[in-house]
């Protein structure tokens, strides 16, 4: 079974504000609302690719119930811990000449509820896959990813991590199967400017040397690189299309990579499907559907560049 964890979900309220003026009353021309959270996004794409999975995480209040209702329609299993107080945060995303986001803080998660989640994680067994993705709420210890990976280290569970900065660096000694920094995040990690593909590969290899088995580097329209455990470097060019929605594109890439690897056990095909999923979501109003993914998949071809 594949499991995802979303520690800090949201109800994303998306407003189209073509001519936003700071300090004035603005009116949107269209609104949409979706469940937000990197783990939920990964679960959704996996399900649309035909891979049953279970979403773990925390929800609270009326916003949490709305998320639960909407996720149920997506077809995967939701085994969420419901908090007694507060409400799942609302993230406001204004789209106009520029994209502006205001993200909520999220509810307090008690030790009792954290223990409840840990008890669910303890049921994972040999051969299962776990995706740890996204930020950690301020009420949880900042080493929670490490604690989970340490807890599972002897169970032969495949773990993928999509996180940033120190949160990502701290899990590397536990040898995650995959990590997915993007170009900008690599620059933040190493506090440097990366100017070309050669430098990008060099810094990604440093993360592999620190423990990651595979390093997937997303570059948006410029494609994606995979520094793989077979000691090869794979490249897939960016899909061609009109950018509509960048939210969830990276999560879609993680889901597609995993689905491709599980199906073919081939890194080239995993990168190809991951790139197709990332591009398909970028060119869709919300998370991509399989028909769009399949169309873009046919456009792409990966190559070994080292």
Q: Which residues are catalytic?
A: 251
Integer Cα distance of 285 and 227 in angstroms: 31
Integer Cα distance of 279 and 45 in angstroms: 12
Q: Which residues of 177-207 are buried (b: 16+ CB within 10 A; e: fewer)?
A: bbbbbbbebbbebeeeebeebeebbebbeeb
Which residues are registered as beta bridge partners of 239?
none
Tokens of 200: 């990008």
Residues 6+ apart with CB under 8 A from 10: 35, 36, 37, 88, 89, 90, 91, 103, 104, 106
Integer Cα distance of 178 and 251 in angstroms: 13
Report which of 114, 128, 125 is spatially closest to residue 81, judged by C-alpha positions: 114
Asked if 129 and 4 count as a contact pair (C-beta separation under 8 A), the reply is: no
């Amino acid at each position: 079974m594949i499991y995802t964890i979303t520690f800090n979900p949201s109800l994303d309220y998306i407003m189209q504000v073509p001519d936003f003026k700071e300090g004035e009353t603005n009116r949107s021309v269209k609104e949409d609302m979706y469940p937000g959270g990197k783990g939920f996004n990964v679960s959704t794409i996996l399900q649309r690719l035909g891979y049953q999975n279970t979403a773990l995480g925390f929800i609270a209040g009326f916003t949490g119930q709305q998320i639960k209702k909407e996720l149920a329609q997506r077809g995967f299993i939701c085994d969420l811990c419901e908090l007694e107080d507060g409400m799942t945060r609302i993230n406001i995303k204004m789209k106009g000449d520029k994209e502006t986001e205001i993200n909520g803080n999220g509810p307090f998660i008690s030790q009792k509820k954290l223990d409840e989640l840990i008890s669910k994680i303890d049921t994972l067994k040999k051969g299962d896959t776990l995706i740890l993705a996204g930020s950690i709420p301020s009420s949880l210890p900042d080493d929670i990813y490490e604690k989970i990976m340490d807890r599972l280290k002897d169970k032969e569970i495949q773990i993928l991590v999509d996180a940033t900065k120190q949160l990502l660096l701290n899990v590397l000694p536990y040898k995650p199967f995959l990590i997915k920094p993007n170009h900008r995040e690599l620059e933040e990690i190493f506090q440097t400017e990366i100017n070309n593909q050669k430098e990008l590969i060099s810094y990604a290899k440093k993360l592999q040397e620190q423990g990651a088995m595979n390093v997937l580097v997303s570059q948006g329209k410029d494609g994606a690189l995979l520094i793989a455990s077979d000691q090869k470097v794979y490249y897939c060019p960016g899909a061609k299309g009109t950018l509509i929605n960048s939210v969830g594109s990276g999560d879609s890439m993680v889901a597609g990579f995993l689905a491709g690897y599980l199906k073919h056990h081939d890194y080239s095909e995993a990168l190809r499907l991951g790139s197709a999923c990332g591009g398909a979501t970028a060119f869709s109003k919300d998370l991509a559907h399989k028909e769009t993914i399949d169309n873009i998949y046919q456009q792409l071809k990966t190559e070994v560049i080292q």
